[in-house]
Chains A and B, each alone.
Chain A
């Protein structure tokens, strides 16, 4: 699908390398994504008020004319750089013909500055300016985006970086990398297509020839067993992402593969890459072939350094990695969508115009039994399809299971990791109603699994179990109370919810008591991965490590259970939702009230 760059063009780019093409590059990429990045010591700080203007305008997106929402003329919006300890003053002017908003994703701030229309403030009406003002009490890599309607899909987002008080970024140079997914379709049309025609964007379904190949490869009986499970469930093992490369152009700092966003380094330098997944719907697998990456921060919060070759970044998550490029050669920055329907690449190079080999897309992954909440050694089957018809699968030992067949290999390569606490989730009979097409009867911790499509890779892949907080957090109390929420969905009708009840149907907020320490237990009763985001407070992931890593967004794999510790220290009302934009719109959204 990607057009290879013709040699002639390559020569042209090369000959034009230098200041001239750097300027040309800056015209398409936002100014902050300037190829030189930022050397440690540059001062581009928002000490004074930042003015942001939100507009809808024509812009070249990947070689075609699109009509995104721009912020100060660019899409993604400008890099906002603040310093820990300062007071942020951000004036947002709405030049759209509809309401808008900006949510500062991952920032701890007062309730009325959080920017969620209907929860923290009324929104910003057309022609109005809203003055955001808050004390910056943290540092790291974050981002900002609209929380109004489907504006995020139109590119209403940008990076937000906060320098530490001591100014030390642990590297000689840094680059910010914003990954996003762009479509030339109207986002409302995308949502309707998902609602009325299941699988609308999935052009990687299993076909008759896959089934015939399975029969040849593993026999009729086993193929029948495998297929009948999925067919009885009326679900697809190839349902990895709802919206795919069939409509998306994946972007790195606003550029597509042909326009190749380039980051420069000088040989011998340590470079900090701040990677932000600002997508509406796309999980990415990020790697730099030939270069190992040391993860030093997750969701803006420092973690003990862990060196990997690849990591999966859920929607709304951020990772900071430090790389030490060897010699004088270009490297490909490669972000592959989780369903392998597309990718975006950029280049880390010593001069503009350089390119490195771009890897092939890996084969389309398939979900295995673990996605249904089953494991090999389970005697009675862990899957229940509510609504009467029990699927009654028995004795399927040795069935094809791409999710965990290879998991052990992968784990053998890596360090020994502690396991998360066993929470022993039991589902009440009856399930979650018609809004939930599936229940994971035996949900398990999957924090040490890299996720669908990454099970068999031979290099080191980051898992949540690797993350260790860089230092303990101030509140070390044991949780006094557990709150359990289930992630539920019905793909066929595009219903997404918590506990089978979408936002418009719930009768009140999730109540946190101000000052309490609580444990949030989440169970994913769906066949999809969901990045769940809590506003206003950190979630400390119970992954068996100490100190626990802090997250603002936690991705749950199918049939996974996770637990998080939260200090309910932020009075007010906060949004809590799946960060897949169309899942949120469908109702996978709650308000958490702290009082």
Chain B
């Protein structure tokens, strides 16, 4: 057991500090050590009131840990209807390995699940690849492609932009576009563009870490999805107001 521990720790040293860059005796410390840290960020944690007078709790968060180039990400996004006694609906919950491939872009790959959190509910499990980072003009983007167990391919684009109104307040337009490359009948995703959602939030930083906001959104189903929604007696479009908090620690 002790031997194994030694082997593991040697392997770890081998991985984390491949070669010493200077001159030193064996028992000297490294002048500069490898630094790893992490962050938990709730980009949106909000209460939504739709034009159908429904109240929803919505979250969109991520957490990461790692160094400059390689990180592990956990992302979760979903909503729960207020007081309906039903479990929450996961839009995504993903665990990804991430590698910095360009100064502002990470390529991420991992596994995820979406669907109802009810016990016994059939959830959709999938593989996910994300192109995550900041586009020119400072658009924060998370572009992902998912492939589920049936081979259905879907794509999702999220982009945010901060217009700085003062040193601590921002106007943030936001767009989310969902599309399916293949028909996924089981999950109500006809091929083509499925949905677009536009949002606008005004955020005020009480500190860099804690910023309440208010905002509005407009969402609309597209293409065949739109027909599907209409056939099921739903609304093609939805608007709502939100009150929430962006926070990290």
Chain A residues packing against B (C-beta within 8 Å): 99, 116-119, 121-123, 147, 191-193, 195-197, 200, 203-209, 228, 231-234, 385-389, 391, 434-437, 490, 492-495, 502-509, 572-573, 575, 584-587, 589-591, 593
Contacts and interface: CB of A to CB of B under 8 A. Distances in A.
Given A196-B248, A434-B100, A434-B103, A585 B37 contact: no
Contacts of B136: 231-234, 389, 391
A117 B31 contact: yes
B235 interface: no
B180 to A, nearest CB: 28
B37 A192 contact: yes
Contact of A234 (B23, B29, B104): B104
The interface size bin for chain B is 35 or more
Nearest to A432: B103
14 contacts: A119-B23, A192-B37, A197-B248, A206-B164, A386-B103, A387-B101, A490-B103, A492-B103, A507-B19, A508-B19, A509-B22, A573-B22, A593-B22, A593-B23
A586 B100 CA distance: 16
Contacts of A116: 31
Contact of B167 (A119, A121, A122, A204): A204
A388 B168 CA distance: 33
Contact of A231 (B23, B68, B138, B166): B138
B167 A205 contact: yes
A389 B248 CA distance: 31
B31 A503 contact: yes
A117 B138 contact: no
Dominant SS among interface residues on chain B: loop
A197 to B, nearest CB: 6
Nearest to B33: A504
Given A99-B29, A196-B248, A493 B23 contact: no
B35 interface: yes
Given A508-B19, A575-B31, A122 B25 contact: yes
B118 interface: no
Contacts, number: 133
Contacts of A228: 137
Contact of A197 (B100, B167, B208): B208
Contact of B21 (A99, A193, A385, A591): A591
Contacts of B69: 434
B35 to A, nearest CB: 7
A591 B22 contact: yes
Given A122-B27, A205-B164, A234-B134, 4 more contacts: A207-B165, A234-B138, A434-B69, A504-B30
A103 to B, nearest CB: 11
A391 B136 CA distance: 9
Contact of A118 (B28, B39, B102, B105): B28
Contact of B35 (A387, A572, A585, A590): A585
B163 interface: yes
B68 A585 contact: no
Contacts of A503: 21, 31-32
B17 interface: yes
B137 A388 contact: no
B32 A584 contact: yes
Interface in B25-69: 25, 27-35, 37, 39, 68-69
B164 A208 contact: yes
A368 B164 CA distance: 20
Contacts of A233: 136
Nearest to B68: A495
Contacts of A389: 136
Contacts of B121: none
B206 interface: no
Contacts of A205: 164, 167
A492 B104 contact: yes
Top 4 nearest A-B pairs by Cβ distance?
A591-B22, A387-B102, A118-B31, A573-B23
B85 interface: no
Contacts of A584: 32
A290 to B, nearest CB: 34
B14 to A, nearest CB: 13
B161 to A, nearest CB: 10
Interface string B7-26: 00000000001110111110
Nearest to A508: B21
Nearest to A509: B22
Nearest to A391: B136
Contacts of B168: 203
Interface string B203-224: 0000010000000000000000
A492 B248 contact: no
A573 B21 CA distance: 11
B104 A587 contact: no
Contacts of A204: 167
A206 B17 CA distance: 40
Contacts of A196: 37, 39, 248
Contacts of B165: 207-209
A323 to B, nearest CB: 38
A493 B36 CA distance: 12
A118 B103 contact: no
B29 A507 contact: no
Contact of B22 (A119, A193, A231, A434): A119
B112 to A, nearest CB: 23
B103 A591 contact: no
Nearest to A590: B21
A587 B21 CA distance: 11
